Amino acid sequence: MDILLKPIVTEKMTAQGEEMNRFGFVVSKKANKIQIKQAVEEMYGVNVVSVNTMIYAGKSKSRYTRTGIIKGRSKSFKKAIVTLAEGDTIDFYSNI
């Protein structure tokens, strides 16, 4: 799948998954909410109630080294928060 790039497995998203049945994914920047909903339903076999998306801008980074200052930029990405129907869940840890 080129729409869902990777799941977001953080402490905050794990808590939202347990309490509000919400799960986060890093998605393609060109994907819209309908495509994200179809991709999650197809991949995990669940019913999606709503999809919220947000685009994070890349940030400038710099670090000081022995040879001088190294400047760079982190990539921008699109994040989708998917709310599932009551009773559905996604287990990211089953393959570990």
Q: Which residues contact 56 (CB under 8 A, 6 or more apart)?
A: 76, 77, 78, 79
Q: Please return the burial class of 39, using the count of CB atoms within 10 Å of its CB with bins 0-12, 13-18 and 19+.
A: buried
CATH fold of the domain at 4-84 = Alpha-Beta Plaits (3.30.70)
Q: Give the distance, in angstroms, between the CA of residue 82 and the centroid of all CA atoms in the same chain.
A: 9
Q: Which residue has the tokens 């393959």?
A: 95
- What's the full length of the chain, in residues? 96
For residue 86, give the DSSP letter. T
Say if CB 32 and CB 51 are below 8 A apart: no
Query: For the chain, what are the domain ranges?
Result: 4-84
pLDDT confidence tier of residue 92, bands split at 50, 70 and 90: confident
pLDDT tens for residues 28-58?
Answer: 999 999 999 999 999 999 999 999 999 999 9
pLDDT at 1: 56
